[in-house]
Homo-oligomer: A and B are copies of this chain.
Amino acid sequence: MKLLFCGDVLGRSGRDAIAEHVPLLRQRLGLDFVVVNGENAAHGFGITPKICEEFFDVGVDCITLGNHSWDQREIMPYLDSEPRVLRPRNYPAGTPGKGAGIYPAPRGRKVMVVQVMGRLFMDALDDPFAAVEAEMARQRLGVTVHAVIVDVHGEASSEKMALGHYLDGRASLVVGSHSHIPTADAQIFPKGTAYQTDAGMCGDYDSVIGMKKEAATFRLVRKLPGERLSPAEGPGTLCAVFVETDDATGLAKRVEPVRLGGRLAQAMPVV
């Protein structure tokens, strides 16, 4: 199967990058399933049902969130009615929405997506290893589902990489989000799971992780509140990870970065 995971979409620049590139990528790369992290889609903070619908309309199959899940409160009831939007699985019992879902892919295949949030340098949720384990325990890759994509929304590279190895041989792709910077460490781990520490942001990289650089820098230099943070508005770069799996095993045959538009060096898998 051919899978694409697009990192944190940040504001208008990021949404435009999704709208422009996802339809073309679906076609050009022959994608079977597209996941987008949407936690910063609504002017940098959270996501709205309307933006979710726009993503679905351009060919997104599943949306994951993160620590910004609840910035737009109208998403809470929507999460309970729209199974294609996931929040981290390790929120406490009773949290709106779900942290995992199984979705149809072309030719009768099924894709499981799970999101967990890291705990190093982040708000303390429940154990992400146990949370992902609870979902993995119910499925068998290559048997009950044809692909498993795990979004590790986290700050620390160590925790993300440990989760990758923890799932090696049991997931098709373990990919990080939240740092808003794409990493250049795409690889297939020894037992067949594709891994990249962070997919990177879909947004304007002439910024501080997507936000206008003046206000963001002011806060760090002056230690005063200053202006409200808002998204940088230059051309966005779509940052994503492309994986090709073996349908017989669900494991990865190939993993490559995608970077399209904006300021970063462009990357596009040759198919």
Interface residues of chain A, those whose CB is within 8 Å of chain B, are 70, 73, 91-96, 119-121, 123-127, 129-130, 155-159, 161-162, 165-166, 179-187, 189-190, 197-198, 200, 205-209, 213, 216-217, 220-225, 239, 256-257, 259, 263-265, 267
Contact = CB atoms under 8 A, between A and B. Distances in A.
Stoichiometry, copies per complex: 4
Contact of A182 (B91, B156, B183): B183
24 contacts: A70-B224, A73-B225, A92-B129, A92-B130, A92-B223, A93-B130, A95-B222, A119-B124, A121-B121, A121-B155, A124-B124, A124-B125, A157-B180, A158-B216, A159-B220, A162-B217, A162-B220, A166-B221, A181-B185, A182-B185, A183-B183, A183-B184, A186-B265, A256-B265
Dominant SS at the A interface?
Answer: loop
A75 to B, nearest CB: 11
Given A93-B130, A181-B184, A187-B265, 11 more contacts: A91-B223, A92-B222, A95-B222, A95-B223, A127-B221, A155-B155, A161-B207, A162-B213, A165-B208, A182-B185, A184-B200
A182 B263 CA distance: 18
A236 to B, nearest CB: 13
Nearest to A182: B184
B184 A265 contact: yes
Contact of A166 (B91, B157, B189, B217): B217
Contact of A224 (B95, B161, B217, B257): B95
Contact of A157 (B94, B181, B189): B181
A222 B73 CA distance: 15
Nearest to A207: B161
A159 B121 CA distance: 14
A220 B264 CA distance: 33
Contacts of A94: 222
Contacts of A264: 184-187
A263 B225 contact: no
A205 B217 contact: no
A190 B165 contact: no
A130 B190 CA distance: 37
B126 A208 contact: no
Given A157-B179, A208-B162, A129 B220 contact: yes
A174 to B, nearest CB: 13
Select the residue from A126, A225, A239 with max chain B CB neighbours within 10 A.
Answer: A126
